[in-house]
Amino acid sequence: MTDSKRDFQASAIDELPQIWDGWGKLVRAGLGISAFGVQIMDYPPGHTTPAHTEQGTGQEELYLALRGSGEVVIGDGGERVALDPERVVRVGPGTERTLEAGSDGIRVLCVGGTPGEPYSRQEWTEGEE
């Protein structure tokens, strides 16, 4: 809901626009955020994301587990960093990363932005699969 006197939006997570059979919740598009990228990803137990960097976008990414646990696997060396509701992980744009869900799965808040640059949305964040 938008209020002309107070600029805010609110939504239940599961009522946000979704992609990838519900695995991705489009927070940015759903709340009309234009200053930074932010999504929520729900990964089932044992799921591993493809390794990727943000070299092309230049974005730093912040990961915070809202529930469950897992790990962020960093680079070719495979350094493992715990990801749970008690810690946050930042990964620079050129660093390869993989997210691995733990035995209970994981709901991850992902926030991204390019240092020193205005935010430029990516098409997939509009729900176009």
Q: pLDDT tens-digit profile of 66-109?
A: 999 999 999 988 899 999 999 999 999 999 999 999 999 999 99
Q: pLDDT tens-digit profile of 102-111?
A: 999 999 999 9
Q: pLDDT tens-digit profile of 18-49?
A: 988 889 999 999 999 988 999 999 999 999 99
Partner residues linked to 81 by β-bridges? 72
Cβ–Cβ under 8 Å, residues 89 and 81? yes
84 burial level (CB within 10 Å; 0-12, 13-18, 19+): middle
CA separation for the pair 37, 9 (Å, rounded): 16
Q: Which domain holds residue 69?
A: 37-114
Q: What is the pLDDT of residue 3?
A: 54
CATH of the domain at 68: 2.60.120.10
- Is residue 26 included in any domain, yes or no? no
- Is residue 41 included in any domain, yes or no? yes
Q: What is the pTM of this model?
A: 0.86
- Is residue 60 included in any domain, yes or no? yes
- Is residue 16 included in any domain, yes or no? no
